[in-house]
Structure 1
Amino acid sequence: MDVRGKLALVTGGSDGIGREIALQLQAAGADVIVTGRSVEKLRAMAALGFGTIAGDLSTAAGVDAVVGGVAGKPLALLVNNAGVGSEYELDDVATLDSAALCIRTNLDAPIALCTRLLPKLRAQPEAAIVNVTSGLAIAPRAGGSIYCATKAGLRSYTQAIRHLLKDSNVRVIEALPPVVETNMTAGRGGKKMSAHDCAAEIVHGIRTGKSEVNAGMVKMLQLVHSISPALARRIMIKF
């Protein structure tokens, strides 16, 4: 996809991977609108020349704000990047609220935005949807059961709508990051990919027409999974 002159919407685009995706799309010539919850971070993005939409995608009002924010605009690229973790504990009923927020943000919101913004994408000569899932969509880790479930659900949804849109002008791309250095992973040990490098692989995938972008170590996970799904699950469950 040639992104030059095209309008892109990046959810969760004021921080982390989303911010880097927005910056790199802008550098490649796209006009970019970012969404986020932090007024200060959105103000900083606006100062860099980005359009901004404030909205909490865990709420219906937040989804409405994003859809309304691109009304009348020639949207050609939707990047569903916004995501949150969950503090869910299997034996703690009180953490169900955190689980529900994670599900609404990571799964419900991307589905709603794909559905509600598809007519705008169809109206363009060339368009794309990018759903950012995770390597954990391939095989889950026990310590992040709700997060993994949302990403696995979004992966399945992405594969299904790719088939539904295969004869249309809308390409459907799944981006699968590994553990990336972001606020969400702060304090977690182990090797992490930089947000810049992860975004670079995703943007390259958008520009070269890939259907799936396995970033960083997810390439190795996909290889293991292709040989033995059971082995991949055994490795990742304790990750």
Structure 2
Amino acid sequence: MEVAGKRVLLTGGTAGIGEQMALQLKAKGAEVIITGRSLKKLEAMRKAGFEAIEADLHSPLGADRIVQALGGRTLDVLINNAGQGVDHDFREEAPDADAADDCIYANLNTPIRLITALLPRLKERPEAAIINVTSGLAIAPRAGGPVYCATKAALRSYTQAIRAQLADTNVAVIEALPPVVDTQMTAGRTNKKMAPQECARQILDALEKGHAEANVGMVKVLKAVHSASPALARKVMLRF
């Protein structure tokens, strides 16, 4: 896909991977509409030339607000990038079930609601795309983040299924699987992290080249190990 001139809706576009995708898409000539929760960060992105929609994605109201803000405009690309982690480790303390619900809604339910609401207008375009940002942890989970991993694995399955449904349409369905990236979500982790700029570049490269998946950085290695031995991939990742 040639992204110049395309209208892109990008959730979670005020920081991390999302901010970098927004900046790189804009530099390529796309019109980028971002969403976020932080009023300060949203205002900073507006000053940088982006349309920015305030939306909390933990309930149906977030997706509804985004769709309402779009009005009747056309849309070429939907990028479901917004996501959040949650502490959920019984070895440390009793997890917060409400926090788990928030994570599940933001990471899984909201992307499904946005796709459901916006697919008709994507189908109207000469070419269109949906990018769902999952994680390498969708392939094999780590023990310390079971809820986050479960949401990403579920979104991976959803992505694969709707890709099959839309195979004969003009809408490409792409899954982006980042490794550990240096963002606010991973601030407390000490393992090696990819720069968000490079992660964003690889995801957009998949969009431009028409790839069904963007296995970013070390996820390529995890994918290869999992293909050879799913049990070995799980054993390695569950240590974390």
> Same-fold call, TM > 0.5?
yes
Give the distance between the partners of 2:27 and 2:77, measured in 1 at CA: 15
User: Given the alignment of the two structures, is residue 151 of structure 1 paired with residue 149 of structure 2, yes or no?
Assistant: no
Letter aligned with residue 147 of structure 2: I
For the residue of structure 1 that corresponds to 2:96, the secondary structure is helix
User: Given the alignment of the two structures, is residue 192 of structure 1 paired with residue 193 of structure 2, yes or no?
Assistant: yes
Q: CA deviation at 1:94?
A: 5.5
| Alignment RMSD | 1.0
Of 32-41 and 69-78, the range deviating more from structure 2:
69-78
Q: How does 1:135-150 map to 2 (within 5 A)?
A: 135-150=136-151
Give the distance between the partners of 2:184 and 2:104, measured in 1 at CA: 19
Give the distance between the partners of 2:171 and 2:90, measured in 1 at CA: 39
| Residues 74-104 of structure 1: CA deviation (Å, up to 9, x unaligned) | 1100000000001224486661011000000
Show the counterpart of 1:182.
Answer: 183
8 Å contact from structure 1 (residues 81, 131) kept in 2: yes
Q: How does 1:42-61 map to 2 (within 5 A)?
A: 42-61=42-61
Show the counterpart of 1:38.
Answer: 38
8 Å contact from structure 1 (residues 224, 231) kept in 2: yes
Give the distance between the partners of 1:97 and 1:84, measured in 2 at CA: 14
Q: How does 1:1-239 map to 2 (within 5 A)?
A: 1-90=1-90, 95-239=96-240
Give the distance between the partners of 2:94 and 2:162, measured in 1 at CA: 34
Of 65-74 and 14-23, the range deviating more from structure 2:
65-74
For the residue of structure 2 that corresponds to 1:142, the secondary structure is coil
For the residue of structure 2 that corresponds to 1:72, the secondary structure is coil
- Give TM-score, length-normalised by structure 2: 0.97
For the residue of structure 2 that corresponds to 1:53, the secondary structure is strand
8 Å contact from structure 2 (residues 11, 79) kept in 1: yes
Give the distance between the partners of 2:108 and 2:95, measured in 1 at CA: 21
Letter aligned with residue 4 of structure 1: A
Give the distance between the partners of 1:111 and 1:76, measured in 2 at CA: 17
8 Å contact from structure 1 (residues 89, 95) kept in 2: no
Q: CA deviation at 1:71?
A: 1.7
Letter aligned with residue 193 of structure 1: M
Give the distance between the partners of 1:107 and 1:158, measured in 2 at CA: 11
8 Å contact from structure 2 (residues 36, 53) kept in 1: yes
Letter aligned with residue 144 of structure 1: G
Give the distance between the partners of 2:109 and 2:181, measured in 1 at CA: 23
8 Å contact from structure 2 (residues 8, 77) kept in 1: yes
- Give TM-score, length-normalised by structure 1: 0.98
Q: CA deviation at 1:24?
A: 0.7
Of 160-169 and 63-72, the range deviating more from structure 2:
63-72
Give the distance between the partners of 1:154 and 1:78, measured in 2 at CA: 15
- In the TM superposition, structure 1's runs of 4+ consecutive aligned residues that sit over 3 Å from their partners are 89-94
For the residue of structure 1 that corresponds to 2:200, the secondary structure is helix
Of 87-96 and 17-26, the range deviating more from structure 2:
87-96
The percentage of aligned residue pairs carrying the same residue is 57
Q: CA deviation at 1:120?
A: 1.1
Q: CA deviation at 1:47?
A: 0.8
